[in-house]
Amino acid sequence: MIDVEDLIALVGNYNPRCNADLIRKAFAYGFKMHDGQTRKSGEPYFSHPVAVAAILTEQRLDDATIITALLHDTIEDTRSTYTELTAMFGEEIAELVDGVTKLTNLQLSSTESQQAENFRKLFMAMSRDLRVILVKLGDRLHNMRTIRSMKPEKQAQKARETMEIFAPLAGRMGMQWMREELEDLSFKVLNPEARNSIMRRFLTLQREAGDVVHKITADIRHELEKAQIEADVYGRAKKPYSIWRKMQEKDLAFSSLSDIYGFRVICGNVADCYRILGVIHQRWRAVPGRFKDYISQPKSNGYRSIHTTVSGRDGKRVEVQIRTREMHEVAEAGVAAHWSYREGVRAKNPFAVDPAKWIATLTERLDEGDTDEFLENVKLEMYSDQVFCFTPKGDVIQLPRGATPLDYAYAIHTRIGNSCVSAKIDGIRVPLWTRLKNGQSVEIITAEGQRPQSSWIDIVTTGRAKAAIRRSLREEDRGRFVKLGHELTRAAFDHVGKKATDKALRTAAKMLGLADESDLLARVGSAEMPARRVVETLYPDLAQATAEEVDAKRPVVGLTADQTFRRAQCCQPVPGERIVGITYRGQGVVVHAIDCPALEEFEDQTARWVDLHWHSGRHAPVFTISLDVTISNDAGVLGRICTLIGEQKANISDLRFTDRKPDFYRLIIDVDLRDVEHLHMVMTALEAETDVAQISRHRDLTKRP
């Protein structure tokens, strides 16, 4: 553990006017409060807050942040209080220490709903004072550096939390060096074999090729000297986790990777950045599609740099980043550069972003929707890199990497996104799932009456787009459920010789404790409540007397006596759905659902269409439909799924797996049902099961008659 004078010297290197006496006072107070406490490693506990403070001096942070690091565990782990800290060190420091304490108590790796609420609290703390997060990141970095003294299960839990939350948060804040170290320390815990394998291959590569970094650095310096440009050149091999992630994403072997070395050229001004780019591209061949100009289009966290990848020595690809010294300070400190000191005064770096504005861009519109959407959106925003696209008028739209024209449409306005029908990139019409690239001009084509499709959720990547689409689908689903519920209740009332009037429905809703008839119909349409129950509520005697079974051999009305029929296997219609028959020579009538895509080929053959509808009454459970279900790969899940289906009085006639992954199984389940209401009951029961990731009705158009 370094002593107080060493710590003051570290602060004094960048802030000679620091309040040394207050730092000494905080050091002595923290030492006293933590006296007798030890870490898992056996070291005095106070060595940890001191190490965190030392980490924060590398970012040239102000006295208040350094003192907060020294005291950040006092309220939580000692008899110290907020009132005492306020009296001794002032309200600013007491607020910061209290903020770090609250963050420490958040269980960010808890259940999804709790995690979402805790993320809200995390972002609220960040919005009040971002220095709270800087201390917390320093705290996590030191804990990860010393994690070996913890129990293995605790190591794994902390490493996962670091990989999922703190590392991407550090990267989003622009502190790339911290992100890389946090990722690599987590990687060392979570997958030590893979990391060791990459390290061994690196050593082999160095033995075979020599010190490649030194050679390429010398080559770049030589070219800059010839062009009479003053600049510093640094090179390094990329971190093991960065290499492993690239191997996973691109499905490459280590030997196939090319750009495993990175180089930085740091110069005096912006003009020299572009001169250096010209020198490098004249000397080495640029790799197409690997150029990014973050100087003219900076990231939201203030990051500015030119990135290019070139084929260097022996055809090896190397990434080169070119930036000024002021840009480099922001690239190293990220949003923390706002508080950086130089020679005793707050450094006025023109590229440092205002933390309040940065927080606003990160959290913009993330509070729309439910807690699960918030959690998903926050993680998307933290992980995202950016691309910059142009509107037809030349305005710049900033989007995360992997964004599509749909994301772009929603970034402009929700109304534009909802009514989007197609898009043009650089004047050429493209599919909506096309991935956007830097510098492209995008035009959105809209149409009145267009509504978001459920498939759009899988196309978009931004939180704003996902939230808007889900909101629209919810509204549309409710309208659809009300409409379906109206049809189902009308049929149920007709069956007992009654009318489903507004007054009758209002009365039934009141008797069932529901808000109004609209709520009642929505529940019937979504299969939360059978239409039969509405009838039974108002007319219990009539409902009991008329529950007749429909002849399973003749369940449809509209066939002549000599016509045979069968259900189309492409759409598998069931009683309660609107149907139509298509005549086939020698095959009788094939019954399709009215929305079956297979009907398109008969649009010009109206003579073959037969108007059909299902018999009213209680159908036997003999109508087989196929469900496409994705379930988690855990013990007992499949058994629970089968039990759930059985509890709904449905029979499984076949079951086949279509995809097997380490964490999920996808399977087709054939179920024998009575009607569409029975289908909704089964699907609702399965959707409510936590181990069911996805469920939909499986329709196979290859099985056309």
Q: What is the pLDDT of residues 624-657, one digit of tens each?
A: 999 999 998 888 889 889 988 988 889 999 999 9
Domain end marker among 288, 320, 346: 346
Q: Name the H helices within 384-530.
A: 405-412, 414-418, 456-459, 463-495, 502-511, 517-525
| Residues 129 and 270 occupy one common structural domain | no
Contact (Cβ atoms closer than 8 angstroms) between residue 471 and residue 454 = no
pLDDT exceeds 90 at position 247: no
Q: What is the pLDDT of residues 543-586, one digit of tens each?
A: 555 556 788 888 888 888 788 888 999 999 998 888 889 988 77
Contact (Cβ atoms closer than 8 angstroms) between residue 192 and residue 237 = no
Confidence tier at 363 by pLDDT (50, 70, 90):
low
Provide the CATH number for the domain around residue 143: 1.10.3210.10
The answer as to whether 279 is a domain residue is yes
DSSP-assigned beta bridge partners for residue 390: 396, 441
| Residues 86 and 153 occupy one common structural domain | yes
List CB contacts of 72: < 8 A, sequence separation 6 or more.
49, 52, 97, 100, 101, 104, 135, 139
Structurally, the chain folds into a number of domains equal to 5
Provide the CATH number for the domain around residue 289: 3.30.460.10
C-alpha pair distances (Å), 208 with each of 202, 237, 317, 538 = 10, 15, 17, 86
Catalytic, out of 58, 77, 477, 628: 77
For residue 388, the one-letter residue type is: F
With vertex at residue 128, the alpha carbon angle to CA 125 and CA 134, rounded to the nearest 5 degrees, is 65
| Residues 44 and 91 occupy one common structural domain | yes
C-alpha pair distances (Å), 84 with each of 40, 67, 80, 348, 502 = 28, 15, 7, 34, 66
The whole-number pLDDT of residue 110 equals 47
| Residues 181 and 252 occupy one common structural domain | no
In the block, residue with structure tokens 């802030």 = 15
The answer as to whether 599 is a domain residue is yes
pLDDT exceeds 80 at position 521: yes
What are 235's two structure tokens? 């090179």
Mean pLDDT of 341-360: 64
| Residues 530 and 658 occupy one common structural domain | no
The whole-number pLDDT of residue 484 equals 82
- What HEC string does 596-608 produce? CHHHHHHCCCHHH
Cα separation, 439 vs 294, in Å, equals: 12
Q: Which helix (H) or strand (E) holds 328?
A: helix 325-333
Cα separation, 427 vs 595, in Å, equals: 35
Sign of the torsion formed by the C-alpha atoms of 298, 301, 306 and 308: negative
Q: Which domain holds residue 83?
A: 4-190
Q: Which of 683, 684, 687 is nearest to 697 (CA)?
A: 683
Q: Where are the beta strands (DSSP E) in 510-578?
A: 556-557, 565-567
The whole-number pLDDT of residue 610 equals 86
Q: How many residues does the chain have?
A: 705
Confidence tier at 138 by pLDDT (50, 70, 90):
very high
| Residues 602 and 648 occupy one common structural domain | no
| Residues 584 and 501 occupy one common structural domain | no
| Residues 337 and 484 occupy one common structural domain | no
The answer as to whether 275 is a domain residue is yes
Provide the CATH number for the domain around residue 672: 3.30.70.260
Cα separation, 575 vs 492, in Å, equals: 13
pLDDT exceeds 60 at position 377: no
The whole-number pLDDT of residue 636 equals 86
Domain end marker among 595, 614, 633: 614
Q: What is the pLDDT of residues 284-311, one digit of tens each?
A: 888 877 788 888 878 777 788 999 988 8
Q: Mean pLDDT over all residues of the chain?
A: 82
The answer as to whether 41 is a domain residue is yes
| Residues 57 and 133 occupy one common structural domain | yes
pLDDT exceeds 90 at position 193: no
The answer as to whether 428 is a domain residue is no
Domain end marker among 583, 614, 645: 614
Contact (Cβ atoms closer than 8 angstroms) between residue 37 and residue 48 = no
pTM surpassing 0.75? no
Confidence tier at 397 by pLDDT (50, 70, 90):
confident
The answer as to whether 687 is a domain residue is yes
Q: What is the pLDDT of residues 455-508, one digit of tens each?
A: 788 888 887 788 788 778 777 777 778 888 888 888 888 877 788 888 889 888
The answer as to whether 690 is a domain residue is yes
In the block, residue with structure tokens 């989003």 = 172
The answer as to whether 454 is a domain residue is no
| Residues 180 and 243 occupy one common structural domain | no
Dihedral angle computed from the Cα positions of residues 128, 130, 136 and 142, in that order, rounded to the nearest 10 degrees: -170
For residue 23, the one-letter residue type is: I
- Which range has the top average pLDDT, 17-21, 192-196, 532-536? 17-21
Half-sphere exposure of 701 (CA within 13 A, CB side): 7
Confidence tier at 678 by pLDDT (50, 70, 90):
confident
Q: Name the H helices within 34-110.
A: 47-57, 63-71, 74-77, 82-89, 91-104
Which DSSP letter does residue 453 get? -
- 84 a catalytic residue: no
| Residues 486 and 596 occupy one common structural domain | no
- 76 a catalytic residue: yes
Dihedral angle computed from the Cα positions of residues 122, 126, 128 and 133, in that order, rounded to the nearest 10 degrees: 110
The whole-number pLDDT of residue 208 equals 65
| Residues 14 and 152 occupy one common structural domain | yes
Contact (Cβ atoms closer than 8 angstroms) between residue 306 and residue 322 = yes
Catalytic, out of 21, 35, 73, 76: 76
Cα separation, 548 vs 619, in Å, equals: 8
The whole-number pLDDT of residue 85 equals 93
